[in-house]
Amino acid sequence: MKKPFPARKMLLATIFVAGAAGAMSVMAADQAVHVRGTITAVSSSGFTVQTTTGATVVALSADTHITGVLPSNLDAIQPGSFIGSANVVGGSMARAQEVVVFPPSMKGSGLGDYPWDLPMDGASDSMKMPGGSMMHSAMTNGTVKNSTQGGGSMMHSAMTNGTVKTTHGAGTRTIVVDYGKGEKTIVVTANTPVVTFKPADKSAIVKGAHVFVAGKPGNPVDAAIVAVGIDGTVPPM
């Protein structure tokens, strides 16, 4: 007997949230590899991604969690919001490279502060170490506590996920993110990519779509999570 449509929608949402929460843990795992790029080919068992360093084959399984990525905006970052932000760290503040505003049902996913590897293309000289190499990045997941206007030059990169406590300002704003074991102050500018997640399935994995993949290393990479851009969106994480 088929479930009523609202019940099926609730079931799908529950599966999405449960799968996403587990996938976020895999994204943060030390052994995880990250693949970023554009899908160039799709097969029944996976797909090929053109990255900045070449082609990478990704394998899908019954355990792979697929999520859609859609554009959002600064106004979505409100007190109590749970966010994830790759950021460049320096001194007492960090500058956001991107912000993911998690759906309310995913609040708490990947809570913490841990190493990340988001490339810092176009980073200014102030973000570089002597000799031109880049500083280490991190991921921080948490709750936004407060925010004010303002900014400043930054250094190291990091990923910060957390819940927004308060926000102020229409342009550049500074938010304080509580990631469970501490807090991080992050500057978010009007040019910072801001996105959100939505449920998706294999039908979203098509040639030309932009993806972020986290999974087990190998050839092919065994995908735990595939974040695929919807309608041309580029997953910025």
pLDDT at 137: 72
Alpha helices in the chain (DSSP H): 5-28
pLDDT at 159: 65
Q: What's the pLDDT tens digit per position in 124-145? A: 333 333 333 445 577 778 999 8
DSSP-assigned letters across all residues of 104-161: GGGTTTT-EEEEE----TT--GGGB-TTSPBPPEEEEEEEEEEEEE------EEEEEE
pLDDT at 61: 95
Question: How far is Cα 70 from Cα 233, in angstroms, rounded to an integer?
Answer: 6
For residue 95, pLDDT over 90 is answered with no
pLDDT at 227: 95
Residues facing residue 174 across a β-bridge:
148, 187
Task: Kindly state the average pLDDT of the residues 108-134.
Answer: 60
Fold of 5-67+199-229: OB fold (Dihydrolipoamide Acetyltransferase, E2P) (2.40.50)
Helices then strands, counting H and E runs in the chain, come out as 1, 14
Task: Kindly state the average pLDDT of the residues 187-209.
Answer: 94
Average pLDDT, the chain: 79
Beta strands 221-229; 54-59: pairing state: parallel
Q: Give the DSSP letter of residue 13.
A: H
Task: Kindly state the average pLDDT of the residues 196-215.
Answer: 96
Residues of the chain with CATH 2.40.50.140: 5-67+199-229
Burial of 92 (0-12, 13-18, 19+ CB in 10 A): exposed
pLDDT at 163: 64
For residue 122, pLDDT over 80 is answered with no
For residue 8, pLDDT over 60 is answered with no
The helix or strand, by DSSP H or E, that contains position 102, with its residue range, turns out to be none
